[in-house]
Structure 1
Amino acid sequence: MGVGPRYDGGAGGAGGDGLDLGGGRGDGAGDDAEALLRARLRLADEQIETPPGLWDRIRDPGTEQVPAVVPLSQRRPRMVMLVVAAAVAAVALGVWWLVRPGPVTLQPAGPPPTVKITVHNSERACRTGRSLECALRLANDPHAKYAERGNSAGRVWHGDALAARCVVTDGRMVRDEAGITSTRWYLVTSGQGVRGWLPGVRTRNTREVPECPAGVK
């Protein structure tokens, strides 16, 4: 009987030690698996790449303009102002219609422009005084004979200023006392209002005079 208890006690002690060692080995394996899992998760997290431009989109959100909504209280005054402006314009138009000027009457055009020319007498003795012997004739027709009785529109004298309207270059040729000839004739008006044709040899004009249109007499 003494042997039995010692055997049981030894076996029990041995069994107790075996259970304790088995439990220790199980806890160590669990810790290793957990550490391995954490290491793999950390590695996977480090390998994740951030998409390009993600942080810029987060920092600068889209700035879309939201259409402004005008409150009804602000729109009403604008409508009132537009209505008032239209009414004022209508009244102004009506007043203008009542006081508008009558039909415009076209006034006749003024006299055509002229060029000043001076009468020249080749005879020195006739350059002073206004005798009939020294008078020079203005003709009615630059193409008729200058000395014809009916071809006289008036008289001018040396030094008279005349207003030349135009000139013809194909008139009858005239020769003065100095032997100068010309077929130019100027349509002139004297200071007394006499209108006629002055032979080109009776002036020493240096200014440009426009040619007469066809049919001018």
Structure 2
Amino acid sequence: MSGTVGAGSRYGGDGEVEALLRAKLRAADEEIETPGGLWERVKEPVAGASSAGAPAPGGRFAVAWWPQRHPYAVVVAVAAAVAAVVLGVWWVLLRPGATDVRPAGPPRTVPLTVYNSEAACRSPHTLECALRLAEDPHRAYAARGNTAGRVWHGEVLAARCVVTDGQLVRDEEGVTSSRWYRVRTGEGEEGWLPGVRTRNTREVPECPTGGG
């Protein structure tokens, strides 16, 4: 019989070929030798991890690696933080055109002593000797209802500011003034004191437009 003999006929079929390949693979696997001490070197990190008490999933111990901080890196980080703080302070407070930042609080006041030009009323603390605080410095001082409280000669008030265009007032000695001081008494009453009712020698800031 002429013709080419197939691979299956030469090796006795597919089963014989598969058996032959398995035999060759088994022989090659047996020839591979494990380097000496390999398993011991692999187990050493695992043993170190077990001493740390950190079991990994599956009953194995994982090796935990913690980065060590270098002293130079710590110094650089601290220096950078200090520089950032200094730069922030300069930007807020010291740079040209920086806004003056001050803690909120009551406005600054100037002590102001009440003066009564009538000598007979400097000692008695009576209603007849009381001096009026006005509600509005631009209304007549004696106008009905233009009163915010009473003060007496020698009483020290807290002056917050002054207006210079109020009603012109003349006292018993003939002294005139259009200055009015925004004041607060020790009892907390606030009002306007005519300039002729004090002999102030200290500088008081002007009130903003629209009053004190």
TM-score by length of 2: 0.53
Of the three residues 60, 71, 79, the one matched with 1:85 is: 71
How far off is 1:84 after superposition?
Answer: 2.0
Percent same amino acid at aligned positions?
67
AA at the equivalent of 1:212: C
Matched, 1:187 2:182: yes
Compared CA separation, residues 113 and 91, structure 1 to 2 (3 A): closer
Cα shift readout 1:118-163 (whole Å, capped 9, x = no counterpart): 0000111100021000000000100001111211000000000011
Question: Which of 181, 192, 198 in structure 2 is aligned with 1:197?
Answer: 192
> Which has the larger helix fraction?
1
After superposition, residues 156-195 of structure 1 pair within 5 angstroms as: 156-195=151-190
Rounded Cα–Cα distance in structure 2 between residues aligned with 1:209 and 1:172: 18
Secondary structure of the residue that 1:215 maps to in structure 2?
coil
> Please, which of 121, 128, 132 is the counterpart of residue 123 of structure 2?
128
Rg comparison, structure with higher value: 1
Change (3 A) 1:165 1:91: closer
Partner of 1:111: 106
Aligned length: 124
1:212 partnered with 2:212: no
**Residue matched to 2:148:** 153
Q: Which blocks of at least 5 consecutive residues in structure 1 are unaligned?
A: 1-81, 93-105
Give the TM-score taking structure 1 as reference length: 0.52
What is the distance in 1 between the residues matched to 2:73 and 2:142?
A: 79
Specify the alignment match of 1:54 in structure 2.
Answer: none
Partner of 1:35: none
Q: Tell me which residue corresponds to 1:137.
A: 132
Unaligned runs of 5+ in 2: 1-67, 79-100
> 1:134 and 1:109, CA in 2 relative to 1: closer, same or farther beyond 3 A?
same
User: How far has the Cα of 1:83 moved from its partner?
Assistant: 5.2
Distance (whole Å) between structure 1 residues aligned to residue 69 and residue 206 of structure 2: 64
Post-superposition offset of 1:216: 2.3
* CA RMSD of superposed structures (Å): 2.6
Q: Check 1:91–1:185 CA distance in 2 against 1; reply closer, same or farther (3 A cut).
A: closer
